[in-house]
Structure 1
Amino acid sequence: MADGPAALEAPVAEAAAGAPFVRVEGVSKKFGTFLAVDDVSFDIARGEIFSLLGGSGCGKTTLLRMLAGFEEPTKGRIHIDGRDVTDVPPYERPVNMMFQSYALFPHMSVEKNIAYGLKHEPLSRGERADRVAEMLELVQLQDYGGRKPHQISGGQRQRVALARALARAPKLLLLDEPLAALDKKLREHTQFELMSIQEQTGVTFIVVTHDQEEAMTLSSRMAVMEKGRIRQIGTATDIYEYPQNRFVADFIGSINLFEGQVRAVSGGVAQVEVEELGQVSVTAEGEVAAGQPVTLALRPEKLSLSRTEPEAQNRVAGTVESLAYFGKDSLYRIRLASGRVVSANAPNARRGGEGQWVADWEDDVWLSFAPSSAILLVE
């Protein structure tokens, strides 16, 4: 399998070229009068790690269960590998699912847990043993086959569950909050292990998660969901740097949002009147016109912080109301003359005690940003 950037770009290109491995067409799901999934459509290419990202109750797990066959769509169709599986029962789909709880049998060894999913496969005892050994090697647990789940760590239990799910060689693996039970450091490490295993097997992964960093790390592409609908699909860069609406901009990462109105547009640059900032220049990447109300979005790390007035075109004065030290960077909360508090990040490039603070509590400072650093949103 190819590695590097080309490996990530290939599934995206395949999906765009109209050769989807998974196709969801106008799928909705009602529970009584409650509409859990509302007219959702998307394509996934073979070999992608595709994430469904959203808060609790947005419909992502219901959508995953429909892909698995555990729920039947109220309307719409689901295709996997060119086959319409909408009415196909779960056990006849080329799909396996890894649950958030891992659902390991506590009385069985690691080997027997992995082998459990193979009991209905047409394999001899020797073939079954070979498959289990292959899965143990894949997840780097060769020396743990005889242990019980309570005798291994949370990260190792996660890998056992993954090995069991992959043992039947599914074409599509569905993962429901697969890393939620792990602590932050182990979760970050396991994300890269999961990516490596997916690359080795070539199995298409669909991951449900509420964790933004997890989705951005794992995914070749992701879908951001709200109230049963998909609000945007794209790569991590697309979603973070080029949100298509206010919901996505506000949901992903930290951001400062301002209401404004376009005064003029010329040469791809919009002049936007913002009450708290005055008139600012912003690169206009979409269709905007004079008189149009917009939302101006600024990520904290795109704002430059200084003690002296900069020469930048977009600048505003304020006072440091509070700050927090996070090690690699510091978060400053700046109160502007209007009373609005704005968040700005500054990297801590030097060790403590060497003047790493750009400013301190109650210091007067200036914030500035480049026209291309701001995002104009019309939704």
Structure 2
Amino acid sequence: MARPFIRIEGVSKRFGSFQAVRDVDLTIGEGEIFALLGGSGCGKTTLLRMLAGFEDPSAGRIFIDGQDMTGVPPWERPVHMMFQSYAIFPHMSVERNIAYGLKHERMSAAQRADRVREMLDLVQLAPFAQRKPHQISGGQRQRVALARALARQPKLLLLDEPLAALDKKLREQTQFELMSIQSRTGVTFIVVTHDQEEAMTLADRIAVMDRGQVRQVGSPTEIYEYPNSRFVAGFIGAISTFAARVVRLTGEIAEVDIPAMDGTFAARSVPGLVEGQSVTLALRPEKISIAKTCPAAVNVVEGQVKDLAYFGKDSLYRVTLPGGDLISVHAVNARRADEGGRPADWDDRVWLSFEPGSAILLTD
């Protein structure tokens, strides 16, 4: 992580008897894109509003660039917040919308015009400077709001569900544009989102929140590959989970009995495991191989295809295991289906296999 830029120490927020944020501790680096990820009501937007100064913590302190923000009003903080609605003025041109944020800055008209041109170039909207918001696309309106926010050169930009109003294809395109703009400006971004893919694409690090608490902080790879609880494992991406019991520990490998699979399987061990302990074994769909013949692998279980969904680039299989549970498997469609590219079909008996390192053992 870069130089610590934001420190959130023991921050809580109550609204009457309801506790929206509980004892949050976070450190965010300078120039980082940091995502607050969670479902509705998890406290992520409340935490963002406390950073902006729109809400005061009930307990704890927030530091931005070493300065305690206690009692500092929003307009005196080195922060700008970009709202989900974008809040751009429909009667103003793109150029005037961007300039509006500079009206109270101490700068000459020439300096203001130069800054606006700089922002138009940054978000690649110079050809659209005289158009009104209704004359440009949703993605371009999003960039107008971003340019207006960055025009004031904040040290910290807060983005509340910035891409929620865009369709899937435009959202994916705009994610990369945001990353490029952030890289060029070096401004620290904190993004609130409920969209796991968006957080995984945009963020250097992610804080997963649940009921006002931070459940895990880490890079997208750490959060996805090494979740620290059943909640995080289930919230990030698709996953199948099974009750298991530790039978034997040998170095870095734990052998676990899984009743749903009617057998003992090998998984990478985690610190603190003891023989006889009850755990949860979790598997990502893309970590499992599917075949109609039994492979030579460490972990193999037989099943029957119950459901099949074709997505073009890949297919999703839902397979019934010996114990009656369902497990999801993704298979890439490297060849066309009529050329033998599909490894199995409805009701086929199949063999599933996975590597010990692909199995996630959870104790929480």
TM score, norm. by length of structure 2: 0.99
Provide the C-alpha distance between the structure 2 equivalents of 1:316 and 1:117, rounded to a whole number of angstroms. Answer: 61
Query: 1:82 aligned to 60, 66, 74, which one?
Result: 66
Query: 1:289 aligned to 274, 280, 288, which one?
Result: 274
Instruction: Indicate the residue corresponding to 1:148 in structure 2.
Output: 132
Provide the C-alpha distance between the structure 1 equivalents of 2:338 and 2:256, rounded to a whole number of angstroms. Answer: 41
Instruction: Indicate the residue corresponding to 1:260 in structure 2.
Output: 244
Instruction: Indicate the residue corresponding to 1:321 in structure 2.
Output: 306
The answer to whether 1:359 aligns with 2:326 is: no
The structure 1 segments of at least 4 consecutive aligned residues displaced by more than 6 Å after TM superposition are: none
1:224-373 map, 5 Å: 224-277=208-261, 278-373=263-358
Deviations 1:110-129 (A, max 9, x none): 11111111111001111111
Deviations 1:322-341 (A, max 9, x none): 10011111000001121111
Provide the C-alpha distance between the structure 1 equivalents of 2:76 and 2:336, rounded to a whole number of angstroms. Answer: 59
Provide the C-alpha distance between the structure 1 equivalents of 2:188 and 2:351, rounded to a whole number of angstroms. Answer: 48
Provide the C-alpha distance between the structure 2 equivalents of 1:47 and 1:327, rounded to a whole number of angstroms. Answer: 38
Letter in 1 for 2:343: V
Query: 2:190 aligned to 193, 203, 206, which one?
Result: 206
Instruction: Indicate the residue corresponding to 1:27 in structure 2.
Output: 11
Provide the C-alpha distance between the structure 1 equivalents of 2:359 and 2:234, rounded to a whole number of angstroms. Answer: 14
1:127-146 map, 5 Å: 127-146=111-130
Provide the C-alpha distance between the structure 2 equivalents of 1:82 and 1:163, rounded to a whole number of angstroms. Answer: 26
The answer to whether 1:184 aligns with 2:168 is: yes
> What's the offset of the Cα at 1:143?
1.0
Query: 1:95 aligned to 62, 75, 79, which one?
Result: 79
Deviations 1:276-326 (A, max 9, x none): 122111110322110111010000111110101122121111110010011
> What's the offset of the Cα at 1:251?
0.3
Aligned residue pairs total 363
Provide the C-alpha distance between the structure 1 equivalents of 2:135 and 2:358, rounded to a whole number of angstroms. Answer: 50
Deviations 1:56-77 (A, max 9, x none): 1100000000000000000000
Identical-residue share of aligned pairs (%): 67
Instruction: Indicate the residue corresponding to 1:58 in structure 2.
Output: 42
Instruction: Indicate the residue corresponding to 2:97 in structure 1.
Output: 113
Provide the C-alpha distance between the structure 2 equivalents of 1:260 and 1:351, rounded to a whole number of angstroms. Answer: 38
Provide the C-alpha distance between the structure 2 equivalents of 1:348 and 1:330, rounded to a whole number of angstroms. Answer: 7
Task: Determine if contact 2:82/2:159 at 8 Å carries over to the other structure.
Answer: yes
| SS class of match (2:134) | helix
Task: Determine if contact 2:269/2:361 at 8 Å carries over to the other structure.
Answer: yes
| SS class of match (2:301) | strand
Show structure 2 runs of 5+ residues with no match: none
Alignment root-mean-square deviation, CA? 0.8
